[in-house]
Amino acid sequence: MGRKPLLDDIKRAQVCAILATGGTRSVAANYVGCTAETIRRTAERDPEFREALNRAESQHEIQYLQRIQEATKKDTHWRAAAWVLERTYPDRYATRKPRVLTIAELTETLDRFAELVAEHVPDLAARQKLLESLTALSTVFKTESSMSVAPAAATKPDSAGG
């Protein structure tokens, strides 16, 4: 006979309830008397529990998105609309610190630098090697940019199980 699971049905329901209100897995683990690692391992072994965790974590986010969406319909709540734009399209609307480049600005700068290399480096082999390196670097930035379209704020650092 195996040992009693640390997360019985009642504790699993409590974990999901905490996550649905916006709590982290660490907070939920502390409440039910285990670790976030225990929650992660249990979810790995039990697809039904894993799905319940995902739904609970999504539920909180969806509730706030619905509230923001409703608030944007009222003229007096323009800040809610601005908030959504900042987080949905951070490259275009989020506040940036001075001297911070977007991926688009960085790739544009690399492209301009490549043009200068092509124009001013007389040695064909050296020029070709530099241009290949710049193209590869630019491709990395463009790929990372396309992968990070979703707002970073949408993922809680603690929700991945740590």
Pull the structure tokens for residue 127. Answer: 């020029």
- DSSP 3-state of 93: helix
pTM, two decimals, is 0.49
Of the candidates 123, 102, 122, 104, the one whose C-alpha atom is nearest the C-alpha of residue 112 is 104
Alpha helices in the chain (DSSP H): 9-20, 25-32, 36-45, 47-72, 78-88, 90-93, 103-120, 124-147
Comparing 2 with 161, the larger pLDDT belongs to 2
Supply the mean pLDDT for the chain.
Answer: 81
What single-letter amino acid sits at 71?
Answer: A
CB 103 within 8 A of CB 141: yes
Q: Is the model's pLDDT at 42 over the cut of 90?
A: yes
Residue for token digits 């319940």? Answer: 52
pLDDT band at 150 (very low <50, low <70, confident <90, very high): very low
What single-letter amino acid sits at 1?
Answer: M
- DSSP 3-state of 15: helix
Domain residue limits, the chain: 9-91, 103-147
Whole-angstrom Cα distance, residue 64 to residue 27? 20
Give the pLDDT confidence of 104-144 residue by residue, as tens digits: 788 788 888 888 888 888 999 988 898 888 888 877 766 65
Comparing 37 with 154, the larger pLDDT belongs to 37
pLDDT band at 145 (very low <50, low <70, confident <90, very high): low
